[in-house]
Amino acid sequence: MSLTRIRHRALHGKVMSAAQAAGFIRDGMTVGMSGFTRAGDCKAVPEALAARAAHDPLHITLITGASLGHDTDRLLAEAGVLARRLPFQVDRSLRRKINAGEVMFIDQHLSETVEQLRSHHLAPIDVAVIEAVAITETGGIVPTTSVGNSAQFAQQARQVIVEINLSMPEALEGLHDIYVPQDRPARQPVPLTSPAQRIGQPFIAVDPSRIAAIVFTDKPDSPSNVLPPDDETRAIAGHINRFLMDEVHAGRMPATLHPLQAGIGTIANAVLQGFEDSDLQGLTMYSEVLQDSAIALLDSGKLAFASAASMTLSEPVYRRVIENLDFYRSRLVLRPQEISNLPEIVRRFGIIALNTALEFDIYGNVNSTHVNGTHMMNGIGGSGDFARNAHLSIFVSKSVARDGDISSVVPMVPHVDHTEHDVDVLVTEMGLADLRGLAPRERALRVIEHCAHPDYRADLKDYFQRACRRAGGQTPHLLDEAYSWHTRYARTQTMRRAPARAREAEVVLAG
């Protein structure tokens, strides 16, 4: 019955078990797997690979679109399979091994991975494992809920394993627009001039002779796990909404804004939800991921069209999309991430980029990735592709973390993912700092005033003023105490200075 999903009949003989298919993956290989922010990842082959590694150890380089669902990264990491991993991950076990130096993790701009493969700066893909809803009459692979890097993986790999997911309806066919740029230096302009335009094919074209195995699965995607908005994320959304409306009223943007990009996660989701209550209409998204909020905006008509590399939805919203594909088909497109995130397009469209910061400093440099400057969280993802080339580059964060013991606004970030040049607007629940056209000393005052939590504002101002007096410069800093907030946290579990009263108490106790 399920063989009807393999419309290129010559491939019927390639159907096998996941364990058999996993046999194509051997020690030392570079493997490219579908999957972008938990959507459209292959489910069966990685599991079989992890199971096999228990008795037959092997080490591979694993390249994906972005993060995987189904604890795949945990299974593979714990089975010792991952020697090298790129370009993004969100798994706790894998993260532990990365930070212990046991897995070599290459953190990359998400648009660049396949560019580096194409340029042979990375080892070539030996085996690609791609989730699909079907294989077409010509052997083309129809992806599921993400495209990610699958097109280039499949086209470059010596051998391709296709996982046909029977839980995904064949009606997903037609949602994808697969455009693959030419090799450089003789590349043509990518002809996209609006988010809704289609410039490619609805499947990944591959030579069917390279399809080495086909595996059937029926596991749905891991549902998204974003939290509902809280008071802080609602406040952040409110600041951004007002700011964008002001831009429209000042004549700096049309009422439909420019195409929006929103990073993955709870805050970005809340910001988009906030648009429901705004007067904005006819919006478009040109993003890497669509979350629940994007679907809700399509439903309400606020959003006219959404383009992305994946959709990462909660279970009920996924159901709604699947059951109403005819509605969404004319309002949604999924593209390769090198197109969804391409600097050429981001700059051409003048995208409004909304991304989440782990922390930022008073001059507007952003750390998106490294806890305390050393430990990898998830990776830079596509934030750099968008922030650098955006019309407006907005970064958001709550002003504090860990019950207020960590300030997200610090004197100097101990890891820079986005430099001050690439950050136009910073937002916390406290307010919004519009940094456009300001020099660093001006930025500092605005960031402290508008974004820092009141508990830390005086200390930040004190640092800034002493840095201006003692060091001076374009970007005043005191290098011997720039990281004192971080080292204090490591020592005392809080960035707060010991308050006078607490210090007295300590003295009394000590006495």
Closest approach of Cβ 105 to a second copy, in Å? 6
Does 475 participate in binding a second copy (rule CB under 8 A)?
yes
Give CA–CA dist 400/398, Å, rounded.
6
- Which 279-298 positions form the footprint of a second copy (CB under 8 A)? none
Does 83 participate in binding a second copy (rule CB under 8 A)?
no
- Which 347-376 positions form the footprint of a second copy (CB under 8 A)? 347-350, 365, 369-370, 372-376
Q: Which is nearer to a second copy, 216 or 483 (CB)?
A: 483
Q: Which is nearer to a second copy, 58 or 190 (CB)?
A: 190
Closest approach of Cβ 317 to a second copy, in Å? 28
Q: Which is nearer to a second copy, 174 or 343 (CB)?
A: 343
Rg from Cα positions in the chain: 24
Joined together, the tokens standing for residue 86 give 């790129």
Annotated active-site residue 288? The verdict is: yes
- Which 185-204 positions form the footprint of a second copy (CB under 8 A)? 185-191, 193
Cβ within 8 Å of residue 270, ≥6 positions away: 229, 230, 233, 234, 236, 237, 293
HEC sequence for 386-448: HHHHCCEEEEECCCEEHHHCEECEECCCCCCCECHHHCCEEEECCEEEECCCCCHHHHHHHHH
- For a second copy, what does the binding mask look like between residues 148 and 187, x meaning CB under 8 A? ------------------------------------xxxx
How many residues bind a second copy, per CB under 8 A?
84
Cα separations (Å) of 355 from 29, 387, 430? 34, 8, 17
Q: Do 200 and 177 touch, CB atoms closer than 8 A?
A: yes
Closest approach of Cβ 401 to a second copy, in Å? 18
The answer on whether 149 is annotated among ligand-binding residues is no
Closest by alpha carbon to 33, among 135, 157, 120?
Answer: 157
Strand spans (E) along 6-126 = 30-33, 60-63, 82-86, 104-105
The answer on whether 382 is annotated among ligand-binding residues is yes
- Which 23-82 positions form the footprint of a second copy (CB under 8 A)? none
Read off φ and ψ for residue 249, nearest 5 degrees. -65, -30
Q: Using alpha carbons only, give the angle 368, 450, 242 rounded to the nearest 5 degrees.
A: 90
When binding is defined by CB under 8 A, the residue of 3, 54, 471, 498 that contacts a second copy is: 471
Q: Which is nearer to a second copy, 24 or 483 (CB)?
A: 483
Read off φ and ψ for residue 368, nearest 5 degrees. -105, -5
Give CA–CA dist 196/341, Å, rounded.
15
Does 384 participate in binding a second copy (rule CB under 8 A)?
yes
**One-character DSSP codes across 96-137:** HHHHTTSSEE----TTTHHHHHHTTSSPPPSEEEEEESEE-T
Q: Which is nearer to a second copy, 135 or 423 (CB)?
A: 423
Q: Which is nearer to a second copy, 184 or 501 (CB)?
A: 184
Closest approach of Cβ 310 to a second copy, in Å? 21
With CB under 8 A as the contact rule, which of the stretches 218-226, 233-241, 329-337, 465-473 interacts with a second copy? 465-473
Closest approach of Cβ 425 to a second copy, in Å? 10
Give CA–CA dist 428/413, Å, rounded.
16
Closest approach of Cβ 81 to a second copy, in Å? 17
When binding is defined by CB under 8 A, the residue of 437, 454, 499, 511 that contacts a second copy is: 437
When binding is defined by CB under 8 A, the residue of 344, 405, 455, 459 that contacts a second copy is: 344
Closest by alpha carbon to 283, among 329, 245, 326?
Answer: 245
Give CA–CA dist 115/203, Å, rounded.
20
Catalytic-labelled residue, pool 47, 112, 288, 429? 288
* Binding-site residue positions for CoA: 378, 382
User: Hey, which residues are catalytic here?
Assistant: 288
* Binding-site residue positions: 378, 382
